[in-house]
Structure 1
């Protein structure tokens, strides 16, 4: 019997919703010092086992189908089977953004939901390494991951953190390879550009930007964030102005390092980033700051620097300058090297343009991509154009359930 027929029978003949409710209760039941509560948990655990046994006895590979029904809805299971038909292999590493992906300030109090943490624990126990990939600092990420998953998992040797958007990689329990500082490989010429940008960006900003923005990032990432609510009209106007300001400041810094006229470098800089990002182009058009020059006509010295520096715009949220040589893809490849994942097929989950680059890396035969429905437009277009793995705000667990089912299905032989 074909797998589609088997799944259809599974969800028609058995109460999968009830089974999944027992599974969720058993997995996320909080530690309570209560005899009554413990007895309730034991009763639920016994009922869960009984229902799984009933499925196990009704199918070849019954244990696999029991676990699928206990973890995935009918829709998630059939999505998993579609992925299996398309790719024919299991996900062997999770690559996960944190903010607005695993957790969301919208409806989860900015904490990773316990349901998500329980699923991540199951993947870990199944031998799937976890790579957390974020723009946050190592100390912050390490702290809340230990709090959520526990020190044993974080220090298991199968867990890695790519922090500050690729500045470094932390993979505990790997000796000298535990912490890799990727910025140490940057050339001094690039380091000096970011030194200049960071020292000047607020000091030389117009008064409305100095008062309305604050600075984030690190030595190799200069990010202006609004002091207003993200996405509000005030924040949107401010970040639009900040983007134009940052582009022109970058041009000044580059002009100081080349023999080209500053005005010409400014025109090349605006044109270069407008050509590469439609959102940047739209902001420049709105500010009457577009450039009519061809960026390919820039001098070799300027073009070489522009190609090594990234500028990103997040509407109403951030205007950012970073190093293309320190990005999430570079960090992930370093993490996989330490983890010993030689042939990755990753689940990549994220919401921003920096995550999009990881998704594009994965699309080259290295995995699949998923995103929340409020992700940036470019991310949404990529995900919809590949496997349509979108999830609601705060519901990253839904995709994890689909991938859990995929991995189980790959163990079923015809």
Structure 2
């Protein structure tokens, strides 16, 4: 309890709000050559240093740690960090981060990663903590915003990896022949044939309203239909629901074309719908609303068809995307490949995300004592249930930086305990 008592005294006896404000000014102060601006920047630094020195003097052997905490974490974040350290007894040594609706949000951050979040990521990088960006986006899309937000130096530092298209590939600049790994090249030939078949005709054979209302995302391997309307709008929801049904039928037809299932193409498509409806309540709900749920019991699907379906993944994101992927190429597989390249043998991560693909990484981390999980308040229900049942690290929309500050506090406590 002594550490909790001292931590409480830190925030009650010292003006930590001012210290955090000063630190934010130092971090975000624009680089200008104006003498007036530079003089003010120097004044801010001096005031910050004086405040930290007062804390250092007040808390003797933990003074440096507490002074650092005061400039980065609120009282709540610091106490949460201490709770987590006492629970797990170690520091976070890798960040595993989803992007869309996690680091950035169309609802509150204008689809840009907030400066506060970017600054904290830079702090972790400066501390030598590797960063794994884990996303469903294409590689080029991720590289573009990452370089713009984090800077080319950080991206090419050798300590950052990008798991893209939900795990079909891993890009880790600065690692020679291992810089780019195309994980999909290791898939079974039949699975690759299904993707090649669908990709070659998904738009050309689509009904006119889907051709007008959707576009095919520029994926390297996964097949993703996106709406030509504002994400989450009524029009986007309607066209993506229809696209989901279309993709399921096209998948069934492609599987039938392999010649390994002794059923008519239309029948295979019906079983395909039934199979994925059984796997995912959201898909079932869409099929029901579209009048496309077949009267078939998914438990009766033939073994030869199930053998193929259980290797494939259907991703449904309401009003945003309908996607065909491979369950053999999940974010978990991509993360494991990234950890290998980054040479992290004993990971303890913070996994942040909002979707079912992120939930798989969270569960992997939990089952392997490899980290803790956090999610935004608008995450899918299954993600929220998992996060709330573990450490309750749920953050407001667009406020991922708050979790990063909590992790920063956790790491400071771990460092002080080891010293």
Range class of TM-score, shorter chain: over 0.9
Please give the residue correspondences for 1:320-359 in structure 2 after superposition, counting only pairs within 5 Å.
320-359=323-362
Please give the TM-score of this superposition, normalised by the length of structure 1: 0.95
Q: 1:217 to 1:274 in 2, by over 3 A?
A: farther
> Residue 215 of structure 2 aligns to a residue in which SS?
strand
Q: Is the CA contact (8 Å cut-off) linking 1:198 and 1:219 kept in structure 2?
A: no
In the alignment, is residue 285 of structure 1 matched against residue 288 of structure 2?
yes
Q: What 5-or-longer segments of structure 2 have no aligned partner?
A: none
Distance in structure 1 (CA, Å) of the matches to 2:206 and 2:146: 37
In the alignment, is residue 373 of structure 1 matched against residue 382 of structure 2?
no
Please give the residue correspondences for 1:179-258 in structure 2 after superposition, counting only pairs within 5 Å.
179-257=180-258, 258=261
Indicate the residue corresponding to 1:401 in structure 2.
405
Indicate the residue corresponding to 1:138 in structure 2.
139
> Residue 410 of structure 1 aligns to a residue in which SS?
helix
1:356-408 deviation line (CA, Å, top 9, x unaligned): 22122122111111122222222222222222212222211111000000111
Distance in structure 2 (CA, Å) of the matches to 1:243 and 1:143: 29
> Residue 319 of structure 1 aligns to a residue in which SS?
strand
| 1:167 Cα offset (Å) | 2.0
Distance in structure 1 (CA, Å) of the matches to 2:377 and 2:30: 30
Question: After alignment, is 147-156 or 186-195 more displaced?
Answer: 147-156
Distance in structure 2 (CA, Å) of the matches to 1:248 and 1:174: 41
Q: Is the CA contact (8 Å cut-off) linking 1:195 and 1:219 kept in structure 2?
A: no
Indicate the residue corresponding to 1:58 in structure 2.
58
RMSD of aligned alpha carbons? 1.7
Question: After alignment, is 259-268 or 114-123 more displaced?
Answer: 259-268
1:309-365 deviation line (CA, Å, top 9, x unaligned): 100111111111111122211111111001011111111112222222212212211
Distance in structure 1 (CA, Å) of the matches to 2:366 and 2:189: 33
Indicate the residue corresponding to 1:384 in structure 2.
388
Indicate the residue corresponding to 1:70 in structure 2.
71
Where does structure 1 differ by over 6 angstroms across 4 or more consecutive aligned residues?
A: none
Please give the TM-score of this superposition, normalised by the length of structure 2: 0.94
> Residue 368 of structure 1 aligns to a residue in which SS?
strand
Indicate the residue corresponding to 1:39 in structure 2.
39
Indicate the residue corresponding to 1:29 in structure 2.
29
Distance in structure 2 (CA, Å) of the matches to 1:342 and 1:43: 44
1:201-237 deviation line (CA, Å, top 9, x unaligned): 2222222222111111525311111112211222212
In the alignment, is residue 18 of structure 1 matched against residue 22 of structure 2?
no
1:40-70 deviation line (CA, Å, top 9, x unaligned): 1111111111111111111131111111111
Indicate the residue corresponding to 2:102 in structure 1.
101
Question: After alignment, is 364-373 or 34-43 more displaced?
Answer: 364-373
Q: Is the CA contact (8 Å cut-off) linking 2:103 and 2:117 kept in structure 1?
A: yes
Q: 1:122 to 1:6 in 2, by over 3 A?
A: same
Indicate the residue corresponding to 2:304 in structure 1.
301
Distance in structure 2 (CA, Å) of the matches to 1:120 and 1:240: 36
Q: What 5-or-longer segments of structure 1 have no aligned partner?
A: none
| 1:188 Cα offset (Å) | 1.7
Distance in structure 2 (CA, Å) of the matches to 1:73 and 1:309: 44
Distance in structure 2 (CA, Å) of the matches to 1:334 and 1:220: 17
Question: After alignment, is 73-82 or 351-360 more displaced?
Answer: 351-360
Distance in structure 2 (CA, Å) of the matches to 1:289 and 1:151: 48
